[in-house]
Amino acid sequence: MATTPFEDQRPGTSGLRKRVRVFEQPNYVENFVQSIFDCLDGVDGQTLIVGGDGRYYNDVVVQKVIRMAAANGFGRVVCAKDGLMSTPGVSQAIREYSALGGIVLSASHNPGGPEGDFGIKYNIGNGGPAPERLTEAIFARSTAIDSYHTMASDDVDLSRPGDTEVGPMALSIVDPVAAYSALMEKLFDFDAITDLLAGGFLMRFDAMHAVTGPYGRHIFEKLLGAPAGTVINGQPKPDFGGEAPDPNPVHAKHLVDLAMSADSPDFLAASDGDGDRNMILGRGIIVAPSDSLAVLAANAHLAPGYAQGISGIARSMPTSAAADKVAQKLGVDLYEVPTGWKYFCNLLDAEKITICGEESAGTGSDHVREKDGLWAILMWLNILAARRKGVAEIMTDHWAKFGRNYYSRHDYEGVEAAGAAALMGSLRDRLSSLPGSVYGGQIIQSADDFAYVDPIDGSKAEKQGIRLIFADGARIILRLSGTGTVGATVRLYMDRYEPPEGDLGQDTQVALAGLKAIAEEVAGIRSHLGRDAPDVIT
C-alpha cells in the first residue's frame, strides 16, 4: 500500500515512544513496522515474536503486525495470548523459538490510555534490543518509505492458545506465563521460597495494573503458595488504572507508605508496564536500584542457577559504583556501559558478565537479553529464603562489608528542550577547563562526556552523559533522558562512597547535599531549566 514518510520516527533509548495520538495517525504504525522489516536480513520463512504490555492500542497494533508479517513473507508469528507478553518474556520467546526477532509493543513505565503513550521496539535474534546501527537504519528507512505490505484479513481471535494461519503464514498463540515460570523454576530455589512463605513471611507484589499481573499471580500465589491477595493491582488494564506504571517512590507511593508503616509486610516489590523494571522494599526500607544490583551480584551464588558463581558484572555509567566493590571482592570484571540495555547484550553473549543492572530500576542476567523485574524479585526472595534475614538487615550487612555508595537521581521532567540543550552545551564547552577546579572544597579530578567502545564488536557510542569525577571518587553526572515523550528530561545523578568504617546511617539526600550544591553551581540547573526543584527524586 502507498504511504508517505513521517519525520519523527527516531527511536530513543528504548525503541520508538510517542503519544498514542501520534501512533493513531493513518499509516504511522505501518510505516515504522515496514521500516523495521525492510532493514532485516531476509524475513522469508522466518519466525517473529509479537507481544505487548496491554496498554491502549496494543490490541490494534498486534493485529496490524500479524497482517504485515504475513504479507512480508514471515513463515510464522508467535503471538502472546491476548497480545500480552512482558518484555523479558518476548526476549525469552525469541531465544526459545530461534526467532529472527521480536516486536515489543510498550512505552514501558510511561502512562497509558488514549491520552497516554505507546511504543514499538524491535529485539534481535539474541533476544536483546536492536543495536544502534539497526535503529539508525530503521529510522533512515522510515524517512524514505513509500509503501508497505499488508493483507486484507480479519482480526485474529487471540484469546485462545493454539495454532492457526494468516494467509500463507503460520500463527501460534501461546501462553507466555507457563514458559516464563518454567525458566524461573530452573534458576531459583522454589522449595526454599515456598518454605519461607509458609513460615509466615509476608510479601506484597504490585503489578501496577500492567503485564506482570498474570505472571505474578501464577508464580507467587499458585506455584509458591503465597496467600491470595499477595498480588495487588494484578489485572492488566489499557490505562493502568489511570496511574503511570512506574515502580518508583512517586508512582508507587502506597507501597512506600506501607513499607514505612507498622503493618509492613516483610518484603514488598513492584514491576512496571512491560515487566522489565523492579522496585524492592522491606520493612522500613526502600532498596535503591544500584544497591539492589550490588546485593544480587554479591549473593547470586545462593540461587541454584548461579551456584557456580558469576563471570562478571556490568552497570550503566550513571549507576552507582556499589557493584564495583562487589566485583573487586569477587575477583571478577566490572564493565561500565552507556545507558540502555542493548549495551549489555554483547557482554552477555560473550559470557563476560552474568549479572547487570541500571539505576533506572532494571536488573537482569544472562537468562534473557532484557532486564527482568520478576527475575530480580525472585532473586531477592531466594536470597531472603537462604539467609533468613530481613531486607534491612541484608542491606546493613552489605554496607558493613563493602561500604555504602550514597546515591540519588534528580529528574527535571518535561523541561523546554532549548534550556536542556543549553545546559548540556554549556557544560560540554567547559569540560576541558573543569579538571583541577575546586567547588565546595572538592577538587574535580576529571570531566568528560562519556564515550564507550564495545569490547566485543568495537562499535562506538559517544556523548552518553557529562561526568564529573572528584578526587575522592565522588561523581556528578548529567544526561538527557532518551525515553521521555514531552519536551526534554534532564537527569542529575550523584554518587559518593562511604567506607565500611564511615557513617553508614545517614539520610541519602543529606549525605549528597554537598554534591547537589556543586552540581547547581557548575551546571546552573535553576537558571537553564527555570526549575527550583526536581520533579522526581529517586
Mind telling me the catalytic residues? Answer: 108
Closest CA to 486 of 21, 5, 7, 4: 21
Q: Scan for cell 576529571, then name that residue.
A: 446
**Member of 82, 117, 246, 358 binding ligand G16 (CB under 6 A):** 358
Query: Binding marks (x or -) toward ligand G16, 257..276, rule CB under 6 A?
Result: -------------------x
The Cα 270–Cα 10 span in angstroms is 30
| Footprint (CB under 6 A) of ligand G16, residues 464-493 | 481-483, 491
Asked if residue 341 binds ligand G16 (CB under 6 A), the reply is yes
Q: How far is the CB of 482 from ligand G16 (least distance, A)?
A: 4
Q: In angstroms, what CA-CA distances link 485 with 19, 144, 293?
A: 7, 23, 28
The two beta strands, 466-470 and 442-449, are antiparallel
Asked if residue 446 binds ligand G16 (CB under 6 A), the reply is no
Asked if residue 123 binds ligand G16 (CB under 6 A), the reply is no
**Are 322 and 294 in contact, with CB atoms under 8 Å apart?**
yes
Query: Binding marks (x or -) toward ligand G16, 286..325, rule CB under 6 A?
Result: ----------------------------------------
Q: Find the part of the chain contacting ligand G16 (CB under 6 A) among 145-153, 228-236, 335-343, 438-446.
A: 335-343
Asked if residue 142 binds ligand G16 (CB under 6 A), the reply is no
**Alpha-helix residue ranges (DSSP H) falling in 388-475:** 391-402, 417-430
**Which CB sits closer to ligand G16, 107 or 158?**
107
**Which CB sits closer to ligand G16, 206 or 358?**
358
**Member of 264, 290, 339, 405 binding ligand G16 (CB under 6 A):** 339
Strand partners, 322: none
Cα atoms in the Cβ-side hemisphere of radius 13 Å centred on 2:
0
Q: How far is the CB of 293 from ligand G16 (least distance, A)?
A: 12
**Alpha-helix residue ranges (DSSP H) falling in 57-189:** 58-72, 87-96, 132-144, 176-187
**Which CB sits closer to ligand G16, 221 or 358?**
358
Q: How far is the CB of 103 from ligand G16 (least distance, A)?
A: 14
Asked if residue 246 binds ligand G16 (CB under 6 A), the reply is no
Asked if residue 360 binds ligand G16 (CB under 6 A), the reply is yes
**Alpha-helix residue ranges (DSSP H) falling in 24-129:** 28-38, 58-72, 87-96
Asked if residue 340 binds ligand G16 (CB under 6 A), the reply is yes
Q: How far is the CB of 65 from ligand G16 (least distance, A)?
A: 19
Asked if residue 372 binds ligand G16 (CB under 6 A), the reply is no
Q: Scan for cell 557529562, then name that residue.
A: 466
Closest CA to 380 of 248, 261, 205, 217: 205
Q: How far is the CB of 340 from ligand G16 (least distance, A)?
A: 4
Q: Find the part of the chain contacting ligand G16 (CB under 6 A) among 65-73, 78-86, 339-347, 447-455.
A: 339-347
How many residues are given for the chain? Answer: 538
Q: Scan for cell 539492589, then name that residue.
A: 292
**Member of 13, 405, 408, 464 binding ligand G16 (CB under 6 A):** 13
Asked if residue 108 binds ligand G16 (CB under 6 A), the reply is yes
**Are 403 and 497 in contact, with CB atoms under 8 Å apart?**
yes
Residues near 475 by beta carbon (within 8 Å), at least 6 away in sequence: 321, 467, 468, 469, 493, 494, 495, 496
3-state secondary structure at position 467? strand
**Which CB sits closer to ligand G16, 402 or 493?**
493
**Which CB sits closer to ligand G16, 109 or 367?**
109
Residues near 481 by beta carbon (within 8 Å), at least 6 away in sequence: 13, 411, 488, 489, 490, 491
**Which CB sits closer to ligand G16, 72 or 483?**
483
Strand partners, 166: 169
Residues that bind ligand G16 (CB under 6 A): 13-14, 108-109, 276-277, 339-341, 358, 360, 362, 481-483, 491
